Amino acid sequence: MKKFYFIVLLMVLVGVHLYFFLSREQSPVPDITLPEPETATTTEIISYPPLAEMIGSLLMIGHWADSPEASTTAMIEQYHLGGVIIMSAPEDPREIKSWTAAWQDVSSSTLLIAIDQEGGPVSRLRGAEFDTTGQRELATATEAFALGKKRGAELAALGINLNFAPVLDTASSSSSFMYDRVFPDRDTSAEMAEAMVAGMHESGVVGVVKHFPGHPNTSEDSHTTLPTVNSTKSELSNYAAPFFTLLRTTPPQALMTAHLLFPNVDSLPVTLSPYFLTKVLREELEYEGVIITDDMSMDAIDTLYSVPTASVMSVNAGADIILLAAEPSEVKNVVTALVTAAEADPALRQRIEDSFTRVEALCSQLSREQ
């Protein structure tokens, strides 16, 4: 009897095995197409939005306390804008939190919401709840880190994720319009900037180092004129030593350009110059972060070119984000100009796609850290 059961069991096992073997043999084989070796890539494939939307994501507009929050919200939604800079605060700064929430709600990706909270004379937020210690008051990198962390926390609580600080220009003369805004010692300013950026980052805020390659030690203010620097190419690394040191050691996630003219280097202002933005920053210093222009409505630029023309020139030169702080009404004209230029120039279209990739990477990182 035992032998009989054993034979039956053996036949069942053989049958089950045969069933699964035949089923597997008859299953369809997936149609797998391998890429050609020369086109294979390990980089992520990026899906680009329509050109006008992609360009909108590279624009940052200004918002004032006396402007309706809804008007800025509508522009973000209509033009798919990538950023807003808060130019002035309401009487109750806590109101800013409702602005930023409304703006983020209509943005398809994390919106860059910025402010100029340098401390000292350039402090958009004032009052007992905000530390307005200026950079010139700091003596050590430890102090810079602590202030950066504290300031970052103050901004993050309002929904602000980008601060246009620290200032890495150098000014030793009290007659310079930058004097009260910079670190006290040029030789340690790169270290101080690195510490302040690290402190803000710990609080979830991106510090934007400015204004590359540094304003001269004069009273000429790019808000009203185009300052001229007579340094040559061979002297540039010494002139801009704090920036060169920082970018070669601990490059920040973003930096802002200066509206300056170096006539012995290039005939175009730095913000519009392929030499400064591509040759020096991207190639020589191998900077991979986001390049943001200073406001394109400042007299240093808009007395030479219209805002749309200058914006096309700046993107062509290597800028990633165009700042339209004083003239948000220029958005439509800038988008139209860039779309028209990019449709006629494949190289410019590629530049726009490169910038979109960098900005999206920064936004994605902020989204993960929130």
pLDDT tens-digit readout, 198-220: 999 999 999 999 999 999 888 88
Q: Using 50, 70 and 90 to split pLDDT, how confident is the model at 361?
A: very high
pLDDT in the model for residue 5:
42
Give per-residue pLDDT as tens, 50-80: 999 999 999 999 999 999 999 999 999 999 9
Q: What is the CA radius of gyration of the chain?
A: 27
User: What CATH number should be reported for the domain whose range is 57-369?
Assistant: 3.20.20.300
DSSP 58: T
Contact at 8 Å (CB) between 217 and 175? Answer: no
pLDDT in the model for residue 45:
60
Contact at 8 Å (CB) between 62 and 328? Answer: yes
Contact at 8 Å (CB) between 59 and 324? Answer: yes
pLDDT in the model for residue 370:
73
Question: Would you put residue 247 in left (φ > 0), alpha (ψ -120 to 50) or beta?
Answer: alpha
DSSP, residue by residue, 80-117: T--EEEE-S--SSTTHHHHHHHHHHHH-SS--EEEE-E
Backbone φ and ψ of 222, nearest 5°: -70, -10
Give me the active site residues, please. 223, 294
**Arithmetic mean of pLDDT, 28-43:** 33
* Residue type at 332 in one-letter notation: K
pLDDT in the model for residue 104:
98
Q: Would strands 162-163 and 122-123 be described as parallel, antiparallel, or unpaired?
A: unpaired
Q: List the single range of 7-21, 115-129, 188-202, 243-257 with lowest mean pLDDT.
A: 7-21
The larger pLDDT score, comparing residue 32 to residue 167, is at 167
Using CA atoms, how far residue 84 sits from 58, 101, 175, 251, 265, in Å, is 11, 12, 32, 24, 33
- Give the helix/strand (H/E) hosting 323: strand 322-324
**Arithmetic mean of pLDDT, 255-261:** 97
Asked if the model's pLDDT at residue 88 lies above 70, the reply is yes
Query: Measured between alpha carbons, how far is 236 from 117 in angstroms, rounded to an integer?
Result: 28
Q: Using 50, 70 and 90 to split pLDDT, how confident is the model at 40?
A: very low
Q: List the single range of 47-51, 283-287, 291-295, 316-320 with lowest mean pLDDT.
A: 47-51
Structure-derived torsion over alpha carbons of residues 179, 183, 189, 195, reported in degrees to the nearest 10: -150
pLDDT in the model for residue 12:
40
For residue 72, what are its two tokens?
């800025």
Q: Using 50, 70 and 90 to split pLDDT, how confident is the model at 336?
A: very high
